[in-house]
Amino acid sequence: MTADADTATTDATTVTAPASTTPAAASPAARIRPKTGRDDKIMAAFIAVIGLYLIVSLALPLYAVLSKSVSAFYFDLGNFEFQVDRGAGWSAPVTARQLNDELRALSPEELRTSGDGRLAVTVFFPDFNFRAPTRYRIRQVQPEAAFLAGTRRVADTDWHTFDSNQFRRVVLRASKSTGLDNYRAYFSTPALFRSLKNSLTIAVISTVLTVALAFGFAYALTRSAMRFKGLFRIIAMAPILVPSLLPGIALVYLFGNQGMLKSFLLGESIYGPIGIVIGSVFFTFPHAMIIITTALSLSDARLYEAAVSLRASRWKTFWTVTIPGARYGLVSAAFVVFNLVITDFGLPKVIGGQYNMLAVDIYKQVIGQQNFEMGAVVSVVLLIPALLAFTIDRVVQKKQVAQLSSRSVPYAPQPHRRFDALCLLYCVLVTVFIAGLIGVCQYAALIKFWPYDLSLSFNNYNFDVMDGGGWDSWKNSIRLALYTAAAGTAVIFCGAYMVEKTQRFVATRAAFQFLAMLPMAIPGMVLGLAYIFFFNNPANPLHGLYGSMAILVICTVTHFYTVSHLTAVTALKQMDREFESVAASLKQPFHKVFSRVTVPVCLPSVLDISIYLFVNAMTTVSGVIFLYSPDTALASIAVLNMDDAGDIAPAAAMGMMIFYSNIGARLIHLLLTRKVMRNTQAWRTRRGEAVR
C-alpha cells in the first residue's frame, strides 16, 4: 500500500526542510518521504537475511544447474600440435586433428566429454611404445585448453618436450563451450530420451490410479455413515511416514524372484513399470486423499437438499453436485501426485530394474558416469514437467480457496445400510493394501534368511556389520530431522511473518514470496545436484559446508520450504492485521507482539510445521543422496544402499526404524500440541463460556 510513498519522492530537500517552513499557500504541498522507523529497519534486516538464505540455498544453486547444463566440454584437437623426433630430428608440426583425421582414431561422439574429461595423446600415435627412444613435443596453439603431464598442468603455448616414457602420461584436457550441445546430445541418445517417455507414462498411470482410488476413499469418509472412519484415515496416512522406496522393498518380498505371491503376476516381472506404479500409488495415496477429502468436505449441504427436493437420483446428484464441487480438489490432487511420482527417485531405484526414469538417470549420470553436465541436462528436462504441474496446481488451489471462503453448510451423511457396507468394504481393502505393504516390510525385517530360514530374529537390525553407515546413519537421520525441524521452523515462520505483516518493501516481498513458492516445483534430485555445483565449487566461500551436516539441513529445509511457508502464512492471515499497528501506537516494538502474541497464538501451526519437516527429513532420499558424506550417512540413504548391496532384509529393517521414529515423533507432537492447547491456548478453550 505504501509502495508509492516508499519510492515516490527523491525530493530530499523539501523533506529535510525544518517544520518551520510553513509552505506558502500557493505552492503545491510537498511530497512526503516517510521516515524509516526502528521497526522498519529490523524488519528490513530480517527480510534481507531470510531472502539471502533463499537466494543462496535455492536461486544460486539452480542457476548453477542451468549454466552447467549449457556448458559442453570437448577435446579441441585443432588446438594441440605435436612434433616427433625418431632420431632424425624434429618432424614438421602436426595438429592432433590432422592425426585423428588420418587415423580415424576417435569419432566426434568420443570427442565430447565432461568437465573432467582426459584424453591420452598416445591414441594419435599407433606406433607408440614407451620403451622406444622416440622424443615428442607438444604445444597449445591458443592458451584456451590445457594438458597434463603426469600431475603437472600445462596451460601455456610453449613447446614441451617429453621422452616416450613421459609422453605416455600426457593427457589432454577438455575445452568448454556454451550452447545447447548437451541438449542435442540428450535428445539424440535414445537410451536417455526413452526415460522421459517412461517417466511421463508411469506418472500418468499412477496419477489416474491414485486419484481414482483416493477419491473412492475420500468419498466413503465424507459421504457415508460407516464406522471406523478415524482408523481408516490414520492407516491411510501411514505412507507419509516411510521413505518412498519402502513399498519397493515390500513388493520385492511379495512378487520378487523369490516372492511369496510371485505367481499372482502371471509371469510378469515386478521389477519395472508394474512395481513402480504399485509403489507410487502406495506412497502418493495419502497426499491425494487429504486434498480430495478437504475438497469433498467443503461441499454445501444445501445443494444436496436442493437435489433431493428436485427428486434428482443419487447418480445424477453425484455428477451434478459432488463432482463439480470437488473438481478443483481432483485436479489439484492429480497434479500433486503427478509431481511426486515423476520426481521420485527412491522407488524406481529399488524396483525399477532396467526400466529407466528421469530421476534415476540423474543419479546414474552423476554417480555412475561422473557426467555432471548430462546430469544437469536431465535435471532441466525433469524440471519442466514438474514446474508445469506445480503451476497448474497453484492456479487450481487459488480457485478452491475462493470456493472455501464462501459461506456453506457442511454436509452430514445419513446412514444408508447397503451404501455404508460397500464403503466399509472398500476402505478395508485399501487399508489392507497399505498396512499390508508395511506389514510385509516388518515381517521381512524380522526373518532370518528369506526364504530359507523363516525363524524370527533381530539379526537384520545389526546395522553396524553392514554397509550403509550402521546405527550411526539412523542417529544422523534423527539429528538431521531435529535440526531441520528446529532451524527450518524458525526460518520459515519468521520469513512468512515478514512477508505477511510488513507494510513496506512491496517489490522485495513479492520476490520473496516467489522464492518461497519455488521449492515445491524443484525435484529433490535437481536440488541436490544444484548443491553439488554450487557448494562444491572451490571458488565458493561456502565451500566448507560441503559434506557437513549443515548442508543436509539447508537442503532439506529448502526442499520442504513451500508447504511449511503456506502453513505459516495461513495461520498468520488469521491474526488481526492491526496488532502491529496497536503495538506501534503504544510505542512497543513489533517483536514484542511477535513473541508475546503471534508465536503463542500460532503455536499449533508452528508445531505442525516442525513435525512436517521432521517426518520429511527422516524419509527424504532424493534431496540428500548427492550430499551426504561418510560422517553424515542417513537412515533413508542406508536403506537404499543396503538394498543396492543386496541386503534387502536389513534395508527393510532400517526402513521400519524410520517408520517407528516418525510414529514416535508424531506421538510427541500430539502430546505437545495437547499440552500447548491446554496451557498457552487457554483463551481458546474457554471461549465456550464467553458471555453472549
Residue 38 binds to other proteins (criterion: CB under 8 A): yes
Among 13, 22, 178, 263, binds other proteins (CB under 8 A): 22
Backbone angles phi, psi at 162, to 5 degrees: -135, 145
Q: Mark the segment that binds other proteins (CB under 8 A) among 181-189, 549-557, 571-579, 648-656.
A: 571-579
Site size toward other proteins, by CB under 8 A: 55
Q: Mark the segment that binds other proteins (CB under 8 A) among 110-118, 128-136, 416-424, 683-691.
A: 683-691
Among 576, 645, 660, 664, binds other proteins (CB under 8 A): 576
Among 10, 13, 18, 190, binds other proteins (CB under 8 A): 18
Cα separation, 243 vs 661, in Å, equals 12
Residue 36 binds to other proteins (criterion: CB under 8 A): yes
* Cβ-based neighbours of 377, under 8 Å, separated by 6 or more: 69, 182, 183, 185, 186
Assess contact for 192 and 186: CB atoms under 8 A: yes
End-to-end alpha carbon distance in the chain? 37
Cα separation, 108 vs 110, in Å, equals 5
Among 10, 109, 452, 683, binds other proteins (CB under 8 A): 683
Closest to other proteins by CB, 28 vs 126, is 28
Residue 42 binds to other proteins (criterion: CB under 8 A): no
Residue type (1 letter), 676: V
Q: Mark the segment that binds other proteins (CB under 8 A) among 11-19, 171-179, 206-214, 622-630.
A: 11-19
Residue 10 binds to other proteins (criterion: CB under 8 A): no
Name residue 82's beta-bridge partners: 94, 138
Among 45, 301, 421, 582, binds other proteins (CB under 8 A): 582
Cα separation, 247 vs 210, in Å, equals 15
* Cβ-based neighbours of 8, under 8 Å, separated by 6 or more: 31, 33
Q: Which single residue is written with the C-alpha cell 511379495? A: 254
The 3-state DSSP class for residue 159 equals coil
Report which of 477, 476, 488 is spatially closest to residue 607, judged by C-alpha positions.
Answer: 488
Q: Mark the segment that binds other proteins (CB under 8 A) among 36-44, 95-103, 234-242, 437-445.
A: 36-44
* Cβ-based neighbours of 351, under 8 Å, separated by 6 or more: 245, 248, 251, 252, 270, 271, 272, 275, 276, 279
- Cβ 39 to other proteins, closest distance in Å? 6
* Cβ-based neighbours of 460, under 8 Å, separated by 6 or more: 445, 446, 447, 649, 650, 652, 653
Closest to other proteins by CB, 209 vs 601, is 601
Among 12, 19, 92, 539, binds other proteins (CB under 8 A): 19
Residue 1 binds to other proteins (criterion: CB under 8 A): yes
- Among residue numbers 323 through 352, which ones bind other proteins (CB under 8 A)? none
Closest to other proteins by CB, 19 vs 92, is 19
- Among residue numbers 490 through 519, which ones bind other proteins (CB under 8 A)? 503
- Cβ 1 to other proteins, closest distance in Å? 6
Residue 39 binds to other proteins (criterion: CB under 8 A): yes
| Residues 662-681: x where in contact with other proteins by CB under 8 A, - otherwise, as a string | ------------------xx
Residue 13 binds to other proteins (criterion: CB under 8 A): no
Name residue 447's beta-bridge partners: 456
Residue 583 binds to other proteins (criterion: CB under 8 A): yes
* Cβ-based neighbours of 52, under 8 Å, separated by 6 or more: none
What distances in angstroms separate CA 112 from CA 79, 115, 155, 157, 373, one per listed residue?
Answer: 15, 10, 20, 23, 11
- Among residue numbers 597 through 656, which ones bind other proteins (CB under 8 A)? 597, 600-601
Closest to other proteins by CB, 31 vs 227, is 31
Assess contact for 524 and 345: CB atoms under 8 A: yes
Closest to other proteins by CB, 3 vs 234, is 3
Residue 257 binds to other proteins (criterion: CB under 8 A): no
DSSP letter for each residue of 304-359: HHHHHHTT--HHHHIIIIIHHHHHHHHHHHHHHHHHHHHH--HHHHHH-TT---HH
Residue 29 binds to other proteins (criterion: CB under 8 A): yes
CA angle 456, 461, 466 (to 5 degrees): 125
- Cβ 586 to other proteins, closest distance in Å? 3
- Residues of this chain that interact with other proteins (CB under 8 A) are 1-2, 4-5, 8, 15, 18-20, 22-23, 28-40, 503, 576-579, 581-589, 592-593, 596-597, 600-601, 680-684, 686-687, 689-692
